[in-house]
Structures are given as structure tokens and as C-alpha cells.
Amino acid sequence: MTRSNSAGRRLVHAALLATFAATSPLLAADDRFSGVEVQAVHVSGPVHMLTGAGGNIAVSVGDDGVLMVDDQFLPLAERIQEAIDELGGERPKFLLNTHYHGDHVGGNPHFGQAATIIAHHNVRSRLAGNADLPSVALPVVTFADGLSLHFNGDEIALLHLPAGHTDGDSAVWFKSANVLHLGDQLFSGRFPYIDLDAGGTVQGYAANLAAVLEQAPSDVRIIPGHGPLGSLEAVREALSVIRATRAKVAQAIADGTGIEAIIQTGLGSEYADWGSGFINEERWIRILARDIEAAGR
Ligand SMILES: [Zn+2]
Ligand SMILES: [Zn+2]
């Protein structure tokens, strides 16, 4: 690549950044990213996990080039690319979006200039509804149930997880490397955010976790959407906490307890750590109550 090309790209990128800073409330406070460092941890084979701010990123770096899963926030794009460069990579050829939330697809306007973006149909339709997004930020290849990429000596399978976190989530399974990126179908060690306004349901979320436990190899490495790299143990714990807390809130509602009283009483000290993240105990109880009401039980 020539210097003038990369300078040109930087200009385009600067213009995009300026546009986004002006139009997107998510990026209005760019300084919230000023201290963020993007760090890489090796997972297995060609697969690395990148952390910064927002959802965990996976990259496969090898002879075929770079494939990336999710891209956090636009102001971090250059730092994410630098971390990939340090792993010996170049600009990603493929970008897989686990779902449409801004902390996972914020970098699409940057990375979509060079990469083919792939995601579930509903990711594209939801992103296309955002008039602020340029067309390069939209998935080019979309699917209903799943598809496989054959890249860096691995089969990388995208598997749709219906009506869980949203209605358009996919897990990404690096079969040879034995790594599974679950996106926001897993918030490791904390209550999950479930987007009930975007087709998510608590029952679906639990069913998806149960399906992962049934079908994934027992020694698979798990990259959660949020939280540390882990194993199926994190999935098992999350499923058990979600089922137990949903049953508890459903029982309280059936007994005629009001939502504010349920919040007042709380879920129990055994869940104290689970409510320490983005979704505190009150928000989780409200999600559960709304889901139980919608499901009729
Ligand atoms: Zn997220
Ligand atoms: Zn999300």
C-alpha cells in the first residue's frame, strides 16, 4: 500500500469521525475513550482476543490475512488496528458482527471500508434504520441461520442464536482453534443486558446458553461479549443464575408481590457480585419482570 493511499484513508477516516462526533450521541463524549488501551491476549492457534472499551473482539491473524469479530467504538478504530498490526496482521478482510449494538459495531464505518461485513439479516436491517450510518458500515453478506468461512486453516462458523440478547445475535465458532465467541449471549459473571425492545427474551437467552452447553466441545475456550476469557463453566454459571433469578421473580409476581417490593427485598446476597456491572440488580429485576409479564408466566 502506498503512502498517499493511507494518507487518503486517514483523511476519509477523519471526516467520518467528525461526522459521527457531530451526529451520534454515543460518540458525543469522545474523551471517554482517551485513556482506553487496546490489549491483545492469545487464545488459541491464530485466534486472539482484543479488549479496550465495549464488547470483546476476536481476531484470526494468519496466512490468509485478518478476520475480525466485532469492532467496539469508532474512536478506537486506529488503536484496534495498531493492536492487529502488532500481531503481524493487516487490515481485516472480513468483519463478523455478533449483533447490532453500538459497543460491538461502532467501528464498522472504518473497518467496513476494507472488510466484507457479515452478520445475521436482522443486524443489517437494524443498522440500515440508522440514518447516521454510511453504507460501508452495513453488513454486505447476511444470513438467516448460519454460514461458514474457510480462512487461516480453520472453519469459522457463524450460528444464529434466536430471540436471546436481541433477535439477530450469532455465535462465532473457530472450529480448529476450538474457540467460541458468544457476543452478548454471555456477560461473564454478571447479570446480562437483554434487549427486549429488539426481539430479545430471557427464556430465549437461557435456551441459547443451554444449546451452547449441549453442543460445544467441553474444552472450548469461551470469549464472552463482556468479561474475561473463560470456559463453559462461565456459561453454566450464567445459565443457572438466570434460571434461578427468573424463577424467584416469577414466584414473587405469582404471589402478588409488586415490582418495587421485589426490588426492595432483592434477589439474595449470593447474587451481590452479579449486579456489579452495567446491569445492576434493580435493572435485572425490571428486565425479568417485563419478560415474565410478556411471556405470561
Ligand atoms: Zn455489549
Ligand atoms: Zn449487546
Say whether 243 sits in a helix, a strand or coil.
helix
What integer pLDDT is reported at residue 30 of this predicted model? 64
> Nearest bound ligand to CA 70?
1
> Nearest bound ligand to CA 165?
2
CA of 103 to the centre of ligand 1 (A): 5
Neighbours of ion ligand 2 (CB under 5 A): 101, 184
Q: How confident is the model at residue 164 (pLDDT cuts 50, 70, 90)?
A: very high
- DSSP bridge pairs for 47: 44, 60
Report how far residue 181's alpha carbon sits from residue 188's, in angstroms, rounded to the nearest whole number. Answer: 12
CA of 62 to the centre of ligand 2 (A): 28
> Nearest bound ligand to CA 278?
1
One-letter identity of residue 29: A
**What are the phi and psi torsion angles at 113 (to 5°)?**
-65, -35
> Nearest bound ligand to CA 104?
1
- List strand residue ranges (DSSP E) for 165-279, in order: 169-174, 179-187, 221-226
CATH number at residue 107: 3.60.15.10
Report how far residue 257's alpha carbon sits from residue 255's, in angstroms, rounded to the nearest whole number. Answer: 6
CA of 184 to the centre of ligand 1 (A): 5
CA of 99 to the centre of ligand 2 (A): 7
What nine digits make up the cell of 38? 487496546
CA of 150 to the centre of ligand 2 (A): 26
Domain range holding 286?
A: 3-295
What integer pLDDT is reported at residue 225 of this predicted model? 98
Q: How confident is the model at residue 276 (pLDDT cuts 50, 70, 90)?
A: confident
What integer pLDDT is reported at residue 12 of this predicted model? 42
Instruction: Tell whether the model's pLDDT for residue 10 goes beyond 50.
Output: no
What's the pTM value of the predicted model, to 2 decimals? 0.89
CA of 254 to the centre of ligand 1 (A): 32
Query: What is the tally of structural domains in the chain?
Result: 1
